[in-house]
Structure 1
Amino acid sequence: MTESNPALDKQSNDPSFENIFQELKWRGLVHVSTDEEALEKALAGEPITYYCGFDPTASSLHLGHLVQLLTMRRIQLAGHRPLGLVGGATGLIGDPRQTGERVLNTPDVVAGWVKALQDQVKHYISFEGDNAARMVNNLDWWQGVGALEMLRDIGKYFRVGTMIKKEIVAKRLASDEGISYTEFSYQLLQGYDFLQLHREYACTLQFGGSDQWGNLTSGTELIRKAENAHVHALGTPLITNSDGTKFGKSEGNAIWINAELTSPYSFYQFWLNTSDSDVIDRLKVFTFLTRQDIEQLQKSVEEEPFKREAQRTLAWEVTALVHGEDAVRKAIAASDALFGKGEITEIDEPTLRGIAAEVTVAELPAEAATGINVLTATELVPSKGEARRAIQQGGAYINNTKVDDGDAVVEASAWLHDQYLVVRRGKKNLAVIKKV
């Protein structure tokens, strides 16, 4: 039995909407689709089987994937049956990127990532009840398909003229690097996945990010030609910030849903720092709060933005969905402790690593860790003279304890988890010293 996610188990769809499609539209999750009227009718009717696919091109999913994971759950809550596909076959190829060819990973690496991603996907959908989910791996059917069989039985349905018009393919063809046949053929693979799932599970809907639209429609077209059947595709929007920047990226680093790659503390802080102009859209996409709840929070943003109630709600809700409510409480307690409102020695090591990822980190040997040295090493002050003045004025702290003697070496027992010191100048300027 798959372990359930308590935070998701207690969620439900908003009863104020006539059907799940209308709720998805209100939440801004319908960017593009095949016949919209027919799709709404299908989702408002008897249970259908649908799928979303995730390729193991890294060891974890990130916030872009979280849009799809939560959308899977929303549709399942409406009574429909999800198939969670992790592409053990397509992950060996990788869909075309805007920036150039992917590095091909070894089968052993991809197989390990398949398992990791399957475990993550299972966290967001239920495997119990009348509309229980299934996990599928496209390597199960692709490893039995030979090159000649693929060309004869699948390739004959695809037209090169149509394939090269797909947006990402057209962009890559126009680039200096071009596109390899390997990545060009990816849309055949994803199209056949949909056909296979349609044949085996009567799957009639595939959804994914709108940047995957060419791959999504390759499946609907293949099924139309091979099976004379009409199925549906839905593309969710790519989430960007109000200033047009890519959502979930900071200096090139993704926000991962794996706690080892992005700590719950850092994850919580990411959502807490959402701008007023973005927070309502984020609440719609990433939480299960009702329309009424979100409209109340919108009033709060408009009338009392300084309270940041919407941001605190967003940070709590999403972190609880991904990491659990206990992780949220620890993140809040750690944040309070950093600024003197709690016991800093109670912060666990993973959370401290998360804090270190958010602030300046300097390294010092234990014997050199004097008050003056830690302040200057972390660049909280520009010079040793400024460090001495900050200490004399009572504005320097190590682990929330005021530094009185700038020349004294920090006691061995003060090192948190035997390797960290949290340094603060004034009320808000934080840094971390790591022992070497």
Structure 2
Amino acid sequence: MASAATAMSSASRTLLLFSPFKTSLSFRKIPKLPSSINTACFCCCSYSTQLQSQFQTSRRRDVVEILQQRGLLESITSSTIHDAVSSGPVKVYCGFDPTAESLHLGNLLGLIVLSWFQRCGHHAVALIGGATARIGDPSGKSLERPELDIDTLRKNSDGIRDTIYKILLSNSENFSILNNYDWWKEVRLLDFLRNVGRYARVGTMMAKESVKKRLESEQGMSYTEFTYQLLQGYDFLRLFEKEGVSVQIGGNDQWGNITAGTELIRKILQVEGAFGLTFPLLLKSDGTKFGKSEEGAVWLSPSMLSPYKFYQYFFSVPDADVVRFLKILTFLELEEIGELEREMGRPGYVPNSVQRRLAEEVTRFVHGEEGLSEAVKATQALRPGAEAKLDWQTIEGIAEDVPSCSLAYNEVLNLSLVDLSVSAGLLESKSAARRLLKQGGLYLNNSRVDGENKRIEAEDIVDGKVILLSAGKKNKLCCDEGTEIQLCCKEGTDISDPFSRHPINQSSSFHHHHPPQSSSIRVLL
């Protein structure tokens, strides 16, 4: 009998280490589902030793209070979460369904909140919804999501995992990446309905806001979507018991799904200590959603959106939003953000200086120092009048970020700058080109051209490959010797000027493609 008591006491200490409940624990386990699960997990620390030590040596900051001060807190399921995160390290998770090849700006807040938990000594868990993405979360959606095949989901999951790994690892080693497909593939329907489904009340499920909105719409809601909240709830239950995760975070549209999990934990395990926390959606001051450019989603993967364009996107943030976004999207101290805000109202303030700081901080968080360096270098290279030395690699690196056309190399060499500006579509007419030349608004390789008779010479081609031509501070042209030369220009806005706040829309820009020739020039517009 004594040995049994000792064993139970030991088990209690072990479980309390992973889930620091405030009430005595019931040892009623979650109904057993098949346990032959080979979980693909990226884990970068030993939670029970290293994280405890780190928490003791780090500043004891209430991460929930920090989130509230910065405008990153919408709702919590219980006020006792403050005590939980202040008394010791916890595990917190956020889910990401792989419905696209990359995460987008709308997912960024989840990563930022996870990173705040990391920085305060807690362990972050990113859960990729390889299983739940096959169902589709109805939250915030007016139509059912299209079904994705398993190969697409696997490819998307790999891409999202790599992005999360890069971002979270650069800020702390206290994180894990899991995929819920690793346990859902073993779950049998009848076992799930009998052992989990019987604890879910239909009335409660119907009362969820995401369900009510869809039921009131013409399209209605399928049973498949209706069960999504129960699937996400089981994820929390499983992570709570098996991984010691006690906090789930998500956008405010996830409140119903999160509380489904806390309810299952309370009913099935008969314990307290599971918490939910939501953050607000990212909106601009005019109430519209922040996170899409006129070209579409702002992706976090550099393969889908270059660090240069990502960096430029944050230059478009209006003054009315930039301070709030510094609080939400960066880790700068509030005192420093306050000083930046005061700087905006002082005489001599350089427009977009604070936007530049925002762009630097967010780009560094998402793309690292290397990505930030690439973005800044490209920005400087494409700014007319800049003294930065041009090189072929820098200009070629942003070639896909601007429209382009190709011209034969022998057509460009010795061609007058006036004729080239027109034939490439940079300017509408020769008279417009001459007028701009007289006004000092035509630049060749970022140097102002004064004379009308300027012709393109071999030495104008940087590294023997590239020419950069700018009309005022708006249009860009690049030439590339070798197989082709590129000309780039932009109508109406300056995507290269760090002090321009215009959006990076290129949908109206001139875009030609001539057949490549053995010795041709590619022109980026």
Q: Verify same fold: TM over 0.5.
A: yes
CA contact (8 A) 2:106 2:282 kept: yes
Which piece of structure 1 moves more, 255-264 or 319-328? 319-328
2:297 aligned residue (246, 254, 259): 254
Question: Structure 1 residues 315, 17: closer, same or farther in 2, change over 3 A?
Answer: farther
Question: Structure 1 residues 187, 349: closer, same or farther in 2, change over 3 A?
Answer: farther
| Secondary structure of residue in 2 paired with 1:306 | coil
Which piece of structure 1 moves more, 192-201 or 404-413? 404-413
Which piece of structure 1 moves more, 290-299 or 164-173? 164-173
Q: Does 1:121 align with 2:168?
A: no
Residue correspondences, number: 419
Q: Which letter maps to 2:327?
A: K
Q: Does 1:340 align with 2:382?
A: no
Question: Structure 1 residues 412, 102: closer, same or farther in 2, change over 3 A?
Answer: farther
1:283 aligned residue (326, 331, 338): 326
Question: Structure 1 residues 2, 273: closer, same or farther in 2, change over 3 A?
Answer: farther
Equivalent pairs: percent with the same residue? 37
Question: Structure 1 residues 393, 273: closer, same or farther in 2, change over 3 A?
Answer: closer
Q: Separation in 2 of the partners of 1:423 and 1:391?
A: 12
Q: Which letter maps to 1:265?
A: Y
Q: Separation in 2 of the partners of 1:173 and 1:258?
A: 35
Encode CA deviations 1:172-223: one digit per residue, 9 max, x unaligned: 2222222222222211110110000011022211001111111111111111
Gaps of 5+ in 1: 5-11
Q: Separation in 1 of the partners of 2:423 and 2:214?
A: 46
* TM-score normalized with structure 1 length: 0.86
- Alignment correspondent of 2:495: none
Q: Separation in 2 of the partners of 1:122 and 1:63?
A: 16
Gaps of 5+ in 2: 1-41, 46-54, 478-486, 489-512, 515-525
| Secondary structure of residue in 1 paired with 2:262 | helix
Displacement, 1:109? 1.2
The aligned runs of 1:366-385 (5 Å cut-off) are 366=408, 371-372=417-418, 375-376=421-422, 380-385=426-431
Q: Does 1:87 align with 2:145?
A: no
CA contact (8 A) 1:265 1:354 kept: no
CA contact (8 A) 1:191 1:222 kept: yes
Q: Does 1:66 align with 2:108?
A: yes
1:40 aligned residue (65, 82, 87): 82
Which one has a bigger Cα radius of gyration?
2
Displacement, 1:169? 2.2
Q: Which letter maps to 2:107?
A: H
Q: Separation in 1 of the partners of 2:220 and 2:167?
A: 37
Q: Separation in 1 of the partners of 2:136 and 2:110?
A: 18
Q: Which letter maps to 2:116?
A: R
Q: Which letter maps to 1:69?
A: L
- Alignment correspondent of 1:414: 461
CA contact (8 A) 2:385 2:443 kept: no
The aligned runs of 1:34-433 (5 Å cut-off) are 34-35=77-78, 37-96=79-138, 97-126=140-169, 132-230=174-272, 231-251=274-294, 253-304=296-347, 305-338=349-382, 339-341=384-386, 342-348=388-394, 351-353=397-399, 355-356=401-402, 361-366=403-408, 371-372=417-418, 375-376=421-422, 380-391=426-437, 394-400=440-446, 402=449, 414=461, 422-426=468-472, 428-432=473-477, 433=487
Q: Does 1:31 align with 2:78?
A: no
Displacement, 1:234? 0.4
* TM-score normalized with structure 2 length: 0.72
Q: Separation in 1 of the partners of 2:196 and 2:133?
A: 19
Q: Separation in 2 of the partners of 1:331 and 1:103?
A: 35
| Secondary structure of residue in 2 paired with 1:324 | helix
Let me know the Cα RMSD of the aligned residues.
Answer: 3.1
CA contact (8 A) 1:81 1:132 kept: yes
Q: Separation in 2 of the partners of 1:54 and 1:350?
A: 33
- Alignment correspondent of 2:20: none
Displacement, 1:48? 1.5
Q: Separation in 1 of the partners of 2:190 and 2:212?
A: 27
Displacement, 1:29? 0.9
CA contact (8 A) 1:266 1:354 kept: no
Encode CA deviations 1:305-360: one digit per residue, 9 max, x unaligned: 5353322221111111222223323322322222131233355256423641xxxx
